[in-house]
Amino acid sequence: MRTYRTRPFSSNQRLPDLETPPVLHEPEQAGELLAEFIHCHPRLMILTGAGVSTDSGIPDYRDGDGAWKRKQPVQHREFMESYETRQRYWGRSLIGWPVIRNAKPNPSHFHIAELEMRNHSSLVVTQNVDRLHQKAGTQGVSDLHGRADEVLCMSCGYRCSREEVHERCAELNPTFQDYKAEAAPDGDADLNVDFSGFRLADCPRCSGILKPDVVFFGDFVPKQRVDLAKDTLKASDGLLVIGSSLMVYSGFRFCRYAKELGKPIATLNLGRTRAEALAELKLNARIGETLRASLDHL
């Protein structure tokens, strides 16, 4: 059986340098161009990334050139093999998780939901784990990298809400709630303290390792999610990428697949993407305003 591992673009984690900076499109102009693309290709599969959720207060990982803004996220193997890594992850989560828990959909999420309502979206495949597309009303959503609001036991399959584990960790480690740090993506935080005394909340059923139901780096995207997206893309008129640099192969693979199928690709992102050579339409523009303008022209 073929498996699909999440892995980055390259060892230096950035796109090639340009002699001149990319042109920034004004939202009205970008919206007109996107509306023309949708008119020509009315039924799209939409792939979204962290740039869709930044206006909801959830930080992203990369800058406009695809380079890391902060330390790389936790690796699956390290999380599973290292007690210290799990202490650090869950300790930081006491600060970072509430940011995602309390986040509300922003205009971009609602505009994407409206594209579905107008029958321009066959499926939203999101690399985000915040569930904000669902909260905005989109019905057809595939959480490619899982969901941060649920926790899974890696031994017995016990499942519970993230909030339940968050509360247990807070009760076990009352002094950690006094720390302050900048939130990081996916429920993490930029907190650097001594975590050696942090007490973990293990599985209440079998004492196994609890892990958010999220695909960490180095983990595998479930095959059925990839197959669903590929089948949807095959039946769609094209691919629209919104708010993703596509630096992680788990998302970029769908651009390559679209190219193999002869499906047109449009990208809307504030900054460059890995699909520069593949996309028919490349829009470097503010996402929410551009989507609003495109809806006005449809």
Residues with a known catalytic role? 145
26/132 Cα distance (integer angstroms): 26
> From CA 91, how far away is CA 210, in angstroms rounded?
14
Task: Judge contact between 151 and 74, C-beta under 8 A.
Answer: no
Q: DSSP letters along 134-202, please?
A: HHTT-SSEEETTEEEEEEEETTT--EEEHHHHHHHHHHH-GGGGG----B-GGG-B---S--TTPPP--
Order of strands, sheet of 159-161, starting from the edge strand that comes earlier in the sequence: 159-161, 146-153, 210-214
Query: What is the C-alpha to C-alpha distance for residues 107 and 113, in angstroms, rounded to an integer?
Result: 10
